[in-house]
Amino acid sequence: MPILPIDTGRYGSPEVRHIFEEENRLKCQLDFEAAVAAAQGETKIIPAIASKEIVTATRSGNIKLKRIKELESTTEHDTAAFVEALSEQCSPKAQPWVHYGLTSNDITDTSTSIQMKQVFGIIETKILDLSTILIRRATEFRTLPAVGRTHGQHSSIIAFGLKFAVWAAEMARHIERIEEGKKRFLLCKTLGVVGTGSLMGEKALDVQKKVAELTGLYPVDAATQIVSREGYAEMQFLIALIGSTLDKMAIEIRNLQRTELGEVAEPFKLGQIGSSAVPVKRNPIKSERVSSLAKLLRSLVSVAMENILLWHERDLSNSANERFTLPMASILLDEMLNSMKKVIAELMIDSERILSNLEMTNGQIYAEFILDALIKKGIPRFEAYRNIQRIAFSAQKSREPFVKSLAKDPAIARYLTVEELKDIFNPKNHLSASSNIIDNVEKQIILTKKKFSI
């Protein structure tokens, strides 16, 4: 009976969940053993006839999970059971050369790398898809002035589309981070019990290089019995980092959907229920789910960091938790990407509300531009600053429109005409380089797609 929500299929897409299913794990292990046998045969470490027979056995379809589990019930060692099941499919002459010179973690670590290569292939495509959706929304709202908020306060004016462009740029950078990191964490190891390549002697590195080529991985530079867990920690961190960017997007959507702001709303399909008690509620549940799962992703980074600290050439204190960490993180990140793609693509944006929110402070959002205009008239910055602040605080108290207070104050009126003030209080005059920034991000996404052939 399923226990975890991942087991029920609640989170993640079928293609990513499949990567961590036992059948696919077994296939990765068999692919690894086939690559090792082929490389050892080519380098004459094992007889060529044995090499061919082992490769054939790995591809026969006769090595079943059921048999491996039967053997494991006796050996209490999953890798030993796997090797024995493989050996059973070979002749007595080939059996001595099965798994020759290897240790358990040569299989488990390299198989994990194969699986994570599959994961990143799917994840990178979805990141790029999300980037494309984001830049499309950025372009759609590139000329819509909106409130830019800092510290939760109205600060200045932005193009609403710039929000999406910032996120799109971050997602494109995540692809770069993954691609740059692959050589550090998608590693192949065939160096045996303590990392010396002991039984394969001077040809050990030749075998490892060949296996890496066959599996599409990178040969480890140096290792103990296991691949150093710094690479695992980096993968875990990258997954959490991507998740944190998605969380940042989700938090902004959740905030902008607040009743008091009302600038955006998550898609809400016919028949959907926001609250079991309040019929009118339309809760940002998908964004909240992203934020919730992001917390879990970040917590897994600390586990991966602890796993770096193993005794001597290895111990088993990392083994049990690693059965959870990378599979769980990968599936949850996949879920978060799927959710955010849908949210951004179908996000309802209330342009009228966005424009009306600009006037929430009775025009005080234009203070930055008043200051700039006075500086350009030759007024010392802090003289102008203090006058604007004095007028703004007084207008706020009396609830008088800011432009009216400015126009009648001698400290301002002697430098700025009514027409100049009117021009300053036009929000469309303050989008500055927003369109250029959006264009540059779009070019960056196109370049990323071409550079990494995604």
Residues in the chain: 454
Locate 344 and state its tokens. Answer: 């951004």
pLDDT at 274 over 80: no
The answer to whether position 429 is within a domain reads no
> What mean pLDDT is predicted for residues 265-286?
76
Which of 407, 425, 303 is closest to 359 using CA atoms?
A: 425
- The total number of structural domains in the chain stands at 3
Q: Which amino acid is present at 190? A: T
The answer to whether position 431 is within a domain reads no
Per residue in 377-432, pLDDT (tens digit) is 999 999 999 999 999 999 999 999 999 999 999 999 999 999 999 999 999 999 99
Q: Which residue, chain included where needed, has tokens 């048999």?
A: 67
pLDDT at 281 over 90: no
pLDDT at 273 over 70: no
Domain endpoint, select from 49, 74, 97: 97
Neighbours of 273 (CB within 10 A): 11
How far is residue 225's CA from residue 105's CA, in Å, rounded to a whole number?
7
Per residue in 221-251, pLDDT (tens digit) is 999 999 999 999 999 999 999 999 999 999 9
Provide the whole-model pTM: 0.94
Locate 318 and state its tokens. Answer: 């990392």
176 and 264, same structural domain? yes
Burial 161-176 (b: 16+ CB within 10 A, else e): bbbbbbbbbbbbbbbe
Non-local CB neighbours of 342 within 8 Å, separated by 6+ positions: 267, 286
Q: Which residue, chain included where needed, has tokens 């696919």?
A: 24
197 and 298, same structural domain? yes
Q: Is 275 a catalytic residue?
A: yes
Which of 336, 289, 327, 315 is closest to 229 using CA atoms?
A: 315
User: What is the Cα 274 distance to its own chain's centre?
Assistant: 28
Q: Write out the residue range of the structural domain in which residue 375 sits.
A: 364-424
**Mean pLDDT value across the chain:** 95
Domain endpoint, select from 334, 356, 378: 356
28 and 56, same structural domain? yes
Neighbours of 185 (CB within 10 A): 24
Q: Distance between terminal CA atoms of the chain?
A: 38
> What mean pLDDT is predicted for residues 325-336?
97
DSSP code for 95: G
247 and 215, same structural domain? yes
Check residue 8 and give its pLDDT: 84
Catalytic site residue from 151, 276, 312, 453: 151
Tell me if 52 sits within 8 A of 375, measured CB to CB: no
230 and 204, same structural domain? yes
pLDDT at 272 over 80: no
Check residue 271 and give its pLDDT: 66
How far is residue 451's CA from residue 351's CA, in Å, rounded to a whole number?
36
The answer to whether position 252 is within a domain reads yes
> What mean pLDDT is predicted for residues 196-215?
96
pLDDT at 177 over 80: yes
Q: Which pairing describes strands 187-188 and 153-159: parallel, antiparallel, or unpaired? A: unpaired
> What mean pLDDT is predicted for residues 63-76?
94
Tell me if 210 sits within 8 A of 278, measured CB to CB: no
321 and 350, same structural domain? yes
pLDDT at 20 over 80: yes
Helix (H, G, I), strand (E, B) or coil at 64: coil
Non-local CB neighbours of 8 within 8 Å, separated by 6+ positions: 2
Tell me if 246 sits within 8 A of 337, measured CB to CB: yes
Helix (H, G, I), strand (E, B) or coil at 413: helix
The answer to whether position 430 is within a domain reads no
The answer to whether position 254 is within a domain reads yes
Which of 6, 10, 54 is closest to 32 using CA atoms?
A: 54
The answer to whether position 312 is within a domain reads yes
How far is residue 88's CA from residue 62's CA, in Å, rounded to a whole number?
10
Check residue 15 and give its pLDDT: 97
The answer to whether position 35 is within a domain reads yes
379 and 347, same structural domain? no
Check residue 277 and give its pLDDT: 66
Domain endpoint, select from 356, 382, 406: 356
> What mean pLDDT is predicted for residues 190-203?
94
222 and 133, same structural domain? yes
Helix (H, G, I), strand (E, B) or coil at 153: strand
The answer to whether position 163 is within a domain reads yes
> What mean pLDDT is predicted for residues 284-300?
97
159 and 244, same structural domain? yes
Check which CATH number belongs to the domain holding 308 and give it: 1.20.200.10
Per residue in 117-153, pLDDT (tens digit) is 999 999 999 999 999 999 999 999 999 999 999 999 9
Check residue 433 and give its pLDDT: 96
350 and 205, same structural domain? yes
Catalytic site residue from 60, 91, 198, 275: 275
pLDDT at 270 over 80: no
As a whole-number percent, the residues of the chain with pLDDT over 70 amount to: 98
310 and 252, same structural domain? yes
pLDDT at 280 over 80: no
